[in-house]
Amino acid sequence: MLDRSARQRVAALLVVFALVLSGLAVLLVVVPVRAQTVDASGATSFAVTAISTTGGFSPNTIQNLASGTNITVMFTDADSIAHTFTIWGVQGTVIPNPQSVDPGTLEKMVYGNPSAPLVNVNLTGSDQQSMVFSVNATPGWYEFMCMEPGHFQSGMYGFIAFGEPLPSNLSVSSPNTGPGAAVFIIVGTIVSLTVIAIVLGFVVGRRRGSEFEMPPERLGYPEPTTPGGPAPTGEERPPSEGPPNP
């Protein structure tokens, strides 16, 4: 059976191990991975997926698609709610400050003439649809987005280029890609329960272990005595020393 110090070391190691596992779970599960740039290399078709309102599109940057021809897009809504894949018809322009754009203003910008969308695919959730649209022969890049209310503001947008690479200064950022308060509460609860279970297990194990500890007289050691108490069985108490001789 482990002695007291060994049990304490084991309990401490288990606590550290539980905390490390919880941290890894947060990193591997709740932290979203942003999509990388896809180089189409002159292709006339591509696929894009709506992950979620906070997850955005995957991929969210596509470059070097063919120009001056018909392009086929396969749009997948992997979410349980409606999303759109809409390419704004204004070439070489970024809508600034997406978090603060009014939904009504955005709708007028994207759907208004003469800047009608190059393509606009609407899905109601957990669905897939392909659509063919045409692009002119002049190379150029465009911004695409989800036009459901609030989705563009949450980070559902990206950039696509025909006949050329995307400018290096374009980037996609989402303000809501953090795990959120609910995830922190759940993970914190799991960690707390794990630590409590380990501590309780240590305490119970210590108490049960003490029941089986052998008394000192069984191990061949004399029983401990207290000053003025009776002497151990079978032993005589040594006489008290008197005061020192002058």
Q: Dihedral (C-alpha) 98, 101, 103, 107: value to the nearest 10 degrees?
A: -80
User: Which residue has 């960690």 as its token pair?
Assistant: 191
Q: What is the pTM of this model?
A: 0.61
Please determine, looking at this structure, whether the domain spanning 34-172 carries the CATH number 2.60.40.10. Answer: no
Tens of pLDDT, residue by residue, the chain (246 residues): 556 666 666 666 666 566 555 555 544 443 444 557 899 999 999 999 999 988 899 999 999 999 999 999 999 999 999 999 999 999 999 999 999 999 999 999 999 867 789 999 999 999 999 999 999 999 999 999 999 999 999 999 999 999 999 999 998 875 444 454 455 567 667 777 777 777 666 665 665 555 555 665 665 656 566 666 565 555 555 555 555 565
- The answer to whether 132 touches 119, Cβ cutoff 8 Å, is no
Domain locations along the chain: 1-31, 34-172
The Cα 139–Cα 163 span in angstroms is 5
Tell the burial category of 39 from Cβ atoms under 10 Å away from its Cβ (0-12, 13-18, 19+): middle
- The answer to whether 117 touches 17, Cβ cutoff 8 Å, is no
Phi and psi based region of residue 27 (left: phi greater than 0; alpha: psi -120 to 50; beta: remaining): alpha
Let me know how many helices (H) and strands (E) the chain has, helices first: 3, 10
